[in-house]
Amino acid sequence: MSEQNTQTTVGHRRVLAFETAGTWIPEILREEVELFAAMPPAENEFTPNIVVTVNAYAGTLQDFSRLALAGLESSLSETRIVDVGSWAYRFQNPDAGGNVPTDALGEPLASHEGRAIEYTHRAPNGRTVSGVDYLVLLSGWAIQISTTTAIQTRFIFDGDFERMARSTVALRAAGPADAADHVPAPAMHGIDPIATDVLGEEAEDLSLQLTSGADVGAGNWISGEALARIPELQDAVVGRLGAMTADPVLDELRGLGLMENGRLGGVGQFMAAALSDASARLRLTGRFLDHESLFQAFAYGDQALVIAGPGYGPLILNQAWDSPAQGALKVQILPLSELTSSVSRWAGAGPAWNLHVAPFMFEQELIEERFGGEAPLPEGAGQVLEQVWNQPWFIWQLEVEGPRGAVPACTYVNAGPRGNYRIGTVEEPGSGDVKTAMWATESALIFRQVEDALQAAYFGRDARLA
């Protein structure tokens, strides 16, 4: 969205203005919407759009974030909060030498911060879509910039959305006549004490959103034996004699409605085809102490067959996992576009103030010991690492493969309210020794990495997000 192909659009109340690229079409939508723009509609595709609302506001950014969270959860269908974090509306200017000021990790420093709330919800057309709302306070106004697109196109439009959000400016300050008759109280007042201390400003408590977002939803239950039999029955017919012979596996498949008149029915045929001829296969291996569990998905056409044991929610949060028998697996058939959201839920990759740990490099033996349960706190651990170390750890590894090859596997530690940490190996500067490293990784980035890996395997291309 360069200067040569942008246009400035003024809001219908003339409070705000923003710049849109030539391919984006500004419109007047409805009274409460100050600015709106969308891409040209395409058949059978969700139309990416940006909606900007503005209200006079004298509160804090943190309370505005709480209000926005409550509004998203109450006004949209099946809302799941993926991440909440700081967002740079403006960056600090370069110094006299042209150098951009950066933090200890090399990231540009913000001069004016807002919030970004990432989420998914079910659109009126029945599809689960991706939303990111950018929140910023300007000249007495609370500005909520809502961007929505299909999950699979989120990282394609991220750049345009952020540029339009940062181009949003206030044309005048809010005055007494703009004040709302009633400003609702924030939905919650809790804070995250560790994040508040480390960041030097109030950080909202996100534990409620983390917990509610770890539920993978309803499904049917199937035994491993019945699942293994399905591909064998893809082209088979169970005759009258076989039907009369006692076979608990066949009885189970009939009870699930997967067999009709001695052969697999429509759903059973789909499951057999997905298991034997998937366009892409995804495997999550989860571990908590000595318990290991799997989440497997098989992409076939525009749907995905999901077969899962208990994930982060049941194992760490004690959420219900009402399997009818020991070892029974949950089976779901989802639109392929919703698979990334399901992966994120199972792994518990939800909102958290994801803080960097110090030190971040460790002896491999120490990390392996901690994977198995308790291990001594590393020498020189700061308060963030101490809290991460003392949280229950859900270790999960993502593997994705397609007909043309596999995407490199990656491993994460889910440390609950501290978020997820990517696990890898690095050479220690100076000694050259190989150490295990833990990098704080925001759930929003994990969401994009999973979607990118799926698309890479499905379409036979390289993954674009490391």
Q: What is the pLDDT of residue 84?
A: 97
97 contact partners, CB below 8 Å, separation of at least 6: none
In contact, 92 and 109? CB cutoff 8 Å: yes
Count Cα neighbours of 39 within 13 Å in the Cβ-side half-sphere.
16
pLDDT tens by residue, 110-152: 999 999 999 999 998 889 999 999 999 999 999 999 999 999 9
Mean pLDDT of 30-36: 92
Average pLDDT for the chain: 91
Task: Provide the 10 A C-beta neighbour count for residue 377.
Answer: 13
Q: What is the pLDDT of residue 218?
A: 87
Q: What is the pLDDT of residue 328?
A: 92
Q: What is the pLDDT of residue 183?
A: 63
DSSP three-state, residue 377: coil
pLDDT tier at 318 (50, 70, 90 boundaries)? very high
Would you kindly state where each structural domain of the chain is located, as residue ranges?
A: 6-189, 215-465
Q: Helix (H) and strand (E) counts for the chain?
A: 13, 22
Mean pLDDT of 64-76: 94
Q: Between the CA of residue 387 and those of 88, 198, 444, what are the distances in Å? A: 27, 12, 22
Gap between the Cα atoms of 277 and 371, Å rounded: 35
Using alpha carbons only, what angle is made at residue 146 by residues 145 and 151, rounded to the nearest 5 degrees?
A: 145
84 contact partners, CB below 8 Å, separation of at least 6: 65, 69, 115, 116, 117, 118, 204, 206, 209, 351
Mean pLDDT of 60-76: 94
pLDDT of residue 300 exceeding 60, the answer is yes
pLDDT tens by residue, 168-197: 999 999 998 888 756 666 655 689 999 999
pTM, rounded to two decimals: 0.92
CATH class, 6-189 region: alpha beta
pLDDT tens by residue, 322-372: 888 888 999 999 999 999 999 999 999 999 999 999 999 999 999 999 999
Which element (helix H / strand E) includes 432?
A: none
pLDDT tens by residue, 376-420: 999 999 999 999 999 999 999 999 999 888 999 999 999 999 999
Which element (helix H / strand E) includes 110?
A: strand 110-122
Q: What is the pLDDT of residue 3?
A: 47
Q: What is the pLDDT of residue 247?
A: 82
pLDDT of residue 244 exceeding 60, the answer is no
Q: What is the pLDDT of residue 161?
A: 97
pLDDT tier at 105 (50, 70, 90 boundaries)? confident
DSSP 241-298: HHHHS--HHHHHHHHTT-EETTEE-HHHHHHHHHHHH-SEEEEEEEEETTEEEEEEEE
